[in-house]
Amino acid sequence: MNQADLSKLVSALRIAVKPKPRRFSCPEGPAGRLEKLRATVTALVKYERIELNHPRAEEAQGYAERLISDAIRNGDCHKHTMEMADYWLNEKQLVHKLFKVLAPRYQNYNSSFTRLVLGPKTYPGYYVGTAILELKGNPFPALQPETHNYHYWLHNVLLEEAKKEFRSARQDRNAGTTESVTAES
Amino acid sequence: MLRRAVLQTFRQGLAQSFFKRNAVSLSETTVTHQPIETSDEADEKSVSKQKPGDESGNTVVVAPPEFRFMYPEFLPDPAMERRNRLKEKLERIDMLQRRSVVEIPEFYTGSVMAVTVADANSPNKFARFVGICIQRGGSGLRAWFILRNVVDKQGVEILYEMYCPLIQKIEVLRLERRLDESLLYLRDALPEYSTFPLDMEPERRLNNSVVPINPLKVKLRPRPWLERWERQNLQGVEDLNLPQRFYDKAEKVAKPWEKYDLMLQYRKTIPAEEQEKIFADVHSQLQQQEFKRKIRRRRGIDNEQ
């Protein structure tokens, strides 16, 4: 049983975080894993929508969310946050983008800041398949069509009530006819 | 990696020595008290803050931020596989129940404490031990701390579980913090740094609002040591004066990228929103208990007078 680390305050992430991190095979070993993820996070912040393999996308999603949540919580005058941003973003203009563009954009979000959409699994190829990782609020057209038919729209509510009324009226009619049949017999 | 020597920190009731060391003459170490702000987040001492209300106009009571340092065992084990909200809630209720019976004061690693335990085998049925807290850990009802002292030139460490029903009294004789969160290096330090008189009186603090950080740098005995202290980035030890090859190997073996691993940090911590919820839950009861104790203490002083 361990005690929680108290030295840093972190915001809760709104994505599903797995209990164990994934390892990536690289010649430098565990050091190289962070180098690879650094490149992915930099690309995500730069292009706002990238297509890559699913395992790397999932790991990078966690790191990107952590970076943005720290930027929102602490701002750019916080020494530790600035060090993290400096490490994770290889291009220094993206540090400005993080604090000046992304942090205000996601200030009042109640959901996650990134979206991971599974991409095509082309055969033959990488078994786990591709994924598209994007920052929400990006200027590109949406990847998935907006779902229609929300149950709380007014006409849907009225239709539901009308259906219920019709069904109950039919039940009453059927009950009425069966009673009259039993009464006759 | 060096195979750790089998150190059995004995649980309460078995105060046996486990390695023989020759003590150098006990000299009084000068302790400089520098009341440094422990956290740059809040200056108030256990005053509940009222957050500005939500749309409904209800005020939300929030515990002060330093609660996470004062009561770290209320936070659950961060390992995701072992989290169970219901179990944690029930455990917190039990912890508060125990705290209403026995006062478990605020303490940190580096504080000198005295613990009285019910012991059926001792002549007066209690066993009292005084020592410096070198480590604390565990979460919930299993929270523990280790006290170290040197008795008759013998180093003794006892692990106490804070919520054990055998514990009768926990007193903090000197409340202070050190430069490190874990003082296990005192095992390899000169014995004067771990020696405290068993009849030590509780010390009164001049400034109640801030816990002083003792910037003492401890001198270690010559090698061999129990752990490779040069690899641990210790602030509270004097310069180790080792040959350069030790530092070179330490650099080779070090993992400097872990400092930047944001997900590793996340998996080791409880998020701030959850912490706030837990302490908001718990702090009103803790405040009530403190208040009742203060009244009892004052009544006791008045009766004596």
Place B29 in a pLDDT band, splitting at 50, 70 and 90: very low
Binning pLDDT at 50, 70 and 90, where does residue B221 land? very high
Q: What are the sequence ranges of the domains in chain A?
A: 6-135, 148-185
Average pLDDT over residues B130-145: 96
Residue B16 reports pLDDT greater than 90: no
CA B270 to chain centroid, in Å, comes to 19
Of the CA atoms within 13 Å of residue B32, those in its CB half-sphere come to 6
Bridge partners, residue B118, by sequence: B126
For B226-277, write each residue's pLDDT tens digit: 999 999 999 999 999 999 999 999 999 999 999 999 999 999 999 999 999 9
What is residue B60's three-state secondary structure? strand
- The burial of B257, by beta-carbon neighbours within 10 Å (0-12 exposed, 13-18 middle, 19 or more buried), is given as middle
From the list A6, A66, A83, the residue facing B263 with the nearest CB is A66
**CATH-assigned architecture of domain A6-135:** Alpha-Beta Complex (3.90)
Closest CA to A98 of A46, A35, A39, A60: A46
Is A17 close to B269, i.e. CB distance below 8 A?
no
Q: Is the pLDDT of residue B31 over 80?
A: no
DSSP letter, residue B37:
-
Would you call A2 an interface residue with chain B, using a CB distance cutoff of 8 Å?
yes
pLDDT of residue A182: 77
Calculate mean pLDDT across residues A59-73: 97
Q: Greater confidence, B130 or B64?
A: B130
- Global pTM? 0.79
Measured in angstroms, the CA of A150 and the nearest CA of chain B are apart by 26
Chain-chain contact of B137 with A30 (C-beta, under 8 angstroms)? no
Query: Do B27 and B192 touch, CB atoms closer than 8 A?
Result: yes
Distance (Å, whole) CA B12 – CA B117: 8
Q: Output the CA torsion A134→A135→A140→A144 (10° steps).
A: 60
User: From B141, which residue of chain A is nearest by alpha-carbon distance?
Assistant: A1
Does residue B205 have a pLDDT over 90? no
Distance (Å, rounded) from C-alpha B26 to C-alpha B113?
20
Q: Where does the pLDDT of residue B11 fall: very low under 50, low under 70, confident under 90, or very high at 90 and above? A: low
Residue B46 burial (CB count, 10 A): 15
For residue A185, name the pLDDT band (cuts at 50, 70, 90): low
Q: Assess A12–B contact: CB distance below 8 Å, yes or no.
A: yes
Q: What mean pLDDT comes out for the span A4-30?
A: 93
Residue type at A101? V
Contact A163, A151 (CB under 8 A): no
Computed over every residue of chain B, the mean pLDDT equals 83
Going from N- to C-terminal start, the domains of chain B cover 62-101+255-295, 104-236
pLDDT of B28: 36
pLDDT at A49 over 90: yes
**Which CATH number is correct for B104-236, 3.30.870, 1.10.150, 2.60.40, 2.30.30?**
2.30.30
